[in-house]
Structure 1
Amino acid sequence: MPIPIIDIFAGPGGLGEGFSAFINEENERAFKIALSIEKDTLAHQTLRLRSFFRQFAPDEIPEDYYSFTRGEITINELYNRWPEQATHARQEAWCGTLGDPDERDLNAVSDDEVDQRIREVLNGETNWLLIGGPPCQAYSIVGRSRRQEKILNEQTDKRVGLYKQYLRILSVHSPAIFVMENVKGILSAETSENQVFSKILNDLSDPASSYLSDNDAACADIQYPSYRIYSLVNTPDQIDIYGNPEYQHKKFVIKAEEHGVPQTRHRVILLGVRSDIDVIPGIIPRHAEVPVSDVIGGLPALRSALSKSDNTFENWRRLISGILGEAVMDGADDAVKDAIRNRAENMEEPPFGTGADFLPVLDAGTDYLPEWYLDPRIGGVLNHASRAHMDSDLHRYLFVSSFGQVRGISPKLSDFPERLLPAHGNVRQGIEEKKFADRFRVQLAGRASKTITSHISKDGHYYIHPDPAQCRSLTVREAARLQTFPDNYFFCGPRTSQFHQVGNAVPPYLAFQIASVVNQVFEQAFANLADDLRP
């Protein structure tokens, strides 16, 4: 039987996808999502759709699913044609806001409701897995910098304490193992009372002590577990979280580019094992850095769309060519100028123009993990349409991508020709003080990409495609590939939400590797239990 998973703060399901994809030595799925909870309505739609997809064996996915992804039928038609699987998906994926939500939140759910649903889906099973990543905006270094906030306030920002929902479920339901993910910024976050990460580690190690302090009357009769907390990239002999008062916090950081994810995403991921399980987990394997071109290079070339002009190729080419006049490039490196001139004089219309939600492409392959990414039954590529950019940004994108191609680095504002500098009030500060000096950033073809975050939903300046001929930011599908989502993973909602979902997710291939470690712990624990029961 697959090990049940409760996934809270699930987003579009990246963490759950990795665990669900893991196949054990018996060639069976080792894990099954029993319940996933997400508050965002559109992310929940994606979560539910993927749950529907997983109701079928991999070789039995109905053609109707692919018809939906190609826009040939609606999602309601899909669910109506497969009512049993759609019902399971609706029961598994729950749209609910945990914690202490605003009273106007229509998706708010009480702790009692959550507890009841968990008990129902587990049906008495005690060896199960809790996964999830409490919202991280409160801890993000960039977010704290923008808010000019050095000390976090749990009273004014409820996100600071949302990990307590995780803590509460640990206390009340006692999973055998948990996996909790958050941003690296949590390591330096502080409240007026404590260093946040130190408190989280202490609380997760002994959830009852912390949770009971505020809930004595409600929980006095419940038996509470304690947990040993492990790093997934450093063995216990390399880290001593109990003997060292500083906890060696950085050893809990996973650098995704070192583990087969084509992205420099650094996240804190904790593995907790219930104290009655006498198994020491392993760690995930190291992998050579995977460059951007290996993952997105096979996707169809596109040009950017235009936001202020008629979106024709002739208009696009005319606007691009404008970089050659009026001394726009004065001050640029000569080699970069030559590259820009060569590109601007030889722009061609890509076969698929600016792309679409579905492109009927015969070959959009990848040399890296084709068995993970590709699904020939799609019949093309999903979610691959370029965004519209302002006329002035087209020149900046061409400059930045050409600079990256020639110099092998992304330029800072100080590298820009004067006439290409954006008309922002703090540009001089960016040049002189180096503050947000890389606000236009190309993803280099020969390196892993920078972190794909939810900010990609706002603009594409940090996510410029490495090919100057395309002169655009990344598409949803390109961002999804860099996040290691399989190509048949469909993101619901408008494009802004799709970007947001992709940026907020845990890379599924990283989760897949974590699943291997967790599965080993379960298998060893069950083997030990069997040995103990032998006469």
Structure 2
Amino acid sequence: MRTYNFLDLFAGAGGLSEGFIRAGFNPIAHVDADEAACYTIKTRMAYKWLKSINAEEVYFQYLSGEISRTEFYSYIPPGIISSVIHKEITTETLQFVFEKVDLFLENKKLDLIIGGPPCQAYSIAGRSRDKNRMVGDKRNYLYILYAEFLKRYNPKYFVFENVLGLISAKDFDGISHFEKMKNLFQQCGYSLEFKVLNANDYGVLQNRKRLILVGKLGNYEGFYPNLIKEKKVGTVAEVFGDLPPIKAGGGSARLSETTEYFGEYLLASKIKSKNKERTTLHWARPNKEHDLEIYKLAVKLWNKKKARLSYADIPDRLKTQKNTSSFLDRYKVVAADLPFSQTVVAHISKDGHYYIHPDLRQNRSITPREAARLQTFPDDYYFESVSGKPARTTAYKQIGNAVPVLLAEKIAHALLEGW
């Protein structure tokens, strides 16, 4: 069977790419403007190569701090590391990126392009915070550059992912960016079909809706990947249950071992591959004391009444905000007994108030590893920083911006079935 080659644009930390690789697609290159995210993908590609030659121990030496990132990369063929292109895609850099991609293609056919531009300019939350409602933001027009890749490489398919706000975001002239985008992609020769998918319908224990647009070169109808919805197979408690219990400020960025296997979901979703597993970034924030008091109130209320804590009901001595009439759900427990969590977003890098751990004894916000598990990243996936030293905030941001790996894999398998 032929292996299909893909290019990942606006790749982020590689959640979408990881799913397509699992389904059997071959990555030619990844492109992203975020340097830390590029290091994350470089490290992931390095690990996959080491695993292919049964040399994973070098990876774990790096994760344990025995060797530096520079030393770690020295074990890897240079082409694997350099195929991750750290470059903002602009009119000025387009030719540079083309030349890099051409180099890695080596005259092979590019079958697929995946990825979606940064979503902040399209998101409803982003528009509500911006005085111009993101009108004129340059990120609104990155789809025009995306189309340049379609024109150059003419892949059979492309998969474009973004937030639901893209559908309603409007340009200066009042016409939606989504309509302009679809018109442009059609001018490039593609038939288009799109759906709003909720990751929770496809095995991800997270209520996360995303717009998934699929393009197919030529004139077609009814080609959208046939994704089959799944029955719920686990609870949030199972996602966290085998990780060592830690307090606020506790844990380790370096390698630690999970406890005895807890529940079937972790294996079914490929977060874990065996009973015990070494993992990283199970490393909790040092939350402030008054926040920890509020966390206790939130967890107790959920456990007793299955109710969410309203900011208006917090004792006055613990309040730090004067606004008690809006944004009342500032503190929210990741409920252990539900088959889904709230959406993990990049704001988790700012604070953990919306992601309180459900175990009252631990009394903290969730760790990067727990957030990554909600996004179905495997435990051996490491999130890098620019410096090479562990950075919790940077990891949270990459995790929150990612596409859940399991959803990406389901899309990839369904795409293959109709290829």
Give 1:116 deviation, angstroms.
1.7
Q: Does 1:230 align with 2:121?
A: no
Distance 2:20 2:105 in 1: 17
Q: 1:140 to 1:281 in 2, by over 3 A?
A: closer
CA distance in 1, matches of 2:55, 2:144: 38
Q: Whole-Å Cα distance in 2 between the matches of residues 381 and 52 of structure 1?
A: 17
TM, length-normalised to structure 1: 0.72
Alignment of 1:385-424 (within 5 A): 385-420=283-318, 422-424=319-321
**1:350-365 equivalences in 2 (<5 Å):** 353-363=250-260, 365=262
Deviations 1:193-252 (A, max 9, x none): 211222222222223xxxxxxxxxxxxxxxxxx111123xxxxxxxxxxxxxxxxxxxx2
Q: What percent of counterpart residues are identical?
A: 33
1:289-343 deviation line (CA, Å, top 9, x unaligned): 44311212221111113xxxxxxxxxxxxxxxxxxxxxxxxxxxxxxxxxxxxxx
Distance 1:490 1:111, change over 3 A: same
2:90 — aligned with what? 99
Work out the CA distance in 2 between the residues paired with 1:99 and 1:409.
Answer: 47
Deviation at 1:269, TM superposition (A): 0.9
The secondary structure found in structure 1 opposite 2:325 is helix
The letter of the residue matching 2:206 is: Q
- When the two structures are superposed, what TM-score results if normalisation uses the length of structure 2? 0.91
CA distance in 2, matches of 1:446, 1:357: 29
Give the secondary structure class of the aligned counterpart of 2:225: coil
1:246 paired residue number = none
SS at match of 1:179: strand
The answer to whether the 8 A contact 2:7-2:28 is kept is yes
Structure label with greater radius of gyration: 1
* 8 Å contact kept, 2:236–2:337: yes
Structure 2: how far apart are the matches of 1:34 and 1:269?
Answer: 22
SS of equivalent residue, structure 1 residue 388? coil
279-288 vs 10-19, which moves further: 279-288
Q: Sort the Cα spacing of 1:294 and 1:378 in 2 relative to 1 into closer, same or farther, 3 A.
A: closer
Mapped contact 1:4–1:129 kept (Cα < 8 A) = yes
Q: How does 1:163-178 map to 2 (within 5 A)?
A: 163-178=143-158
1:129-154 Cα deviation digits (max 9, x unpaired): 0001101111111111122444x422
Matched, 1:144 2:127: yes
Equivalent in the alignment of 2:26? 32
User: Relative to structure 1, is the Cα distance of residues 127 and 172 closer, same or farther in structure 2, using a 3 angstrom cutoff?
Assistant: closer
Q: How far off its partner does 1:58 sit?
A: 5.2
Q: What CA distance in whole angstroms lies between the structure 2 residues aligned with 1:113 and 1:59?
A: 32
1:511 aligns with 2:408: yes
2:246 alignment counterpart: 302
Q: 1 or 2 for the larger relative contact order (CA 8 Å, sep ≥6)?
A: 2
8 Å Cα contact 2:280/2:379 also seen in 1: yes
Following superposition of structure 1 onto structure 2, how do residues 280-319 of structure 1 map, counting pairs within 5 Å? Answer: 280-289=223-232, 290-305=234-249
Equivalent residue, structure 2, for 1:472: 364
Match of 2:392 among 472, 480, 495: 495
**1:57-76 equivalence runs, <5 A:** 57=51, 60-76=54-70
Partner of 2:42 in structure 1? 48
User: Are the structure 2 counterparts of residues 158 and 49 from structure 1 closer, same or farther at C-alpha, using a change threshold of 3 Å?
Assistant: same
Verify the 8 A CA contact 2:49 2:76 in the aligned structure 1: no
Preserved CA contact (<8 Å) 1:128 1:176: yes
Asked whether the equivalents of residues 73 and 81 of structure 2 are also in contact (C-alpha less than 8 Å), the reply is no
Segments of structure 1 that go 5 or more residues without pairing to the other structure are: 23-29, 101-108, 208-225, 232-251, 306-352, 431-435, 523-535
Which aligned pairs between 1:192-211 and structure 2 lie closer than 5 A?
192-193=172-173, 194-207=175-188
2:324 to 415, 418, 428: 428
Over 3 Å counting, the alpha-carbon distance change for 1:110 and 1:437 in structure 2 is same
SS of the residue 2:170 aligns to: coil
Please name the residue that 2:14 is paired with.
13
- The one-letter code of the counterpart of 2:379 is D
Q: Which moves more between the two structures, 360-369 or 296-305?
A: 360-369
Give the count of matched residue pairs.
409
Q: 1:520, 1:179 → 2: CA distance?
A: 15
Q: Judge conservation of contact 1:66–1:377 (CA < 8 Å) in 2.
A: no
User: Structure 1 CA distance, aligned partners of 2:235 and 2:257?
Assistant: 26
Contact 2:258–2:276 under 8 Å retained in 1: no
**CA drift at 1:59:** 7.4
Once the 2 structures are TM-superposed, how far is the Cα of residue 513 of structure 1 from its aligned partner? 0.4
1:21-42 CA distance string (max 9 Å, x none): 11xxxxxxx3110010111111
Task: Report the counterpart of residue 388 of structure 2 in structure 1.
Answer: none
- For residue 55 of structure 1, report the CA deviation from its aligned partner: 2.1
- Superposed CA deviations along residues 461-485 of structure 1, whole A, max 9, x for unmatched, are 1111111111110100000000000
| CA distances 1:347-371 after superposition (whole Å, capped 9, x unpaired) | xxxxxx5444322444365520416
> What is the SS of the residue equivalent to 2:281?
strand
- Identify if the C-alpha distance between structure 1 residues 364 and 393 changes in structure 2 by more than 3 Å, giving closer, same or farther: farther
The superposition leaves residues 398-436 of structure 1 with CA deviations (integer Å, 9 ceiling, x where unpaired) of 11111122222322223434443x2213x2232xxxxx2
Cα distance in structure 2, aligned partners of 1:382 and 1:396: 28
Name the CA distance, whole Å, in 2 between partners of 1:428 and 1:396.
15
Contact 1:262–1:292 (CA<8 Å) still a contact in 2? yes
Asked whether 1:441 is paired with 2:332, we answer: yes
Cα distance in structure 2, aligned partners of 1:198 and 1:52: 39
Deviation at 1:122, TM superposition (A): 2.7
Distance 1:476 1:143 in 2: 23
Residue identity opposite 2:354 in structure 1: Y
Q: State yes or no: 1:79 paired with 2:62.
A: no
User: Pairwise CA RMSD of aligned residues?
Assistant: 2.2
The amino acid of 1:408's aligned partner reads K
Residues 375 and 488 of structure 1 are in contact (CA less than 8 Å); yes or no, is this contact kept in structure 2? no
**Match of 1:490, SS?**
coil
**Partner amino acid, structure 1, of 2:377:** F
Distance in structure 1 (CA, Å) of the matches to 2:313 and 2:296? 14
Distance 1:90 1:404 in 2: 46
User: Is contact 1:409–1:444 with CA below 8 Å preserved after alignment?
Assistant: no
1:354–1:385: 8 Å Cα contact kept in structure 2? yes
Amino acid at match of 2:364: R
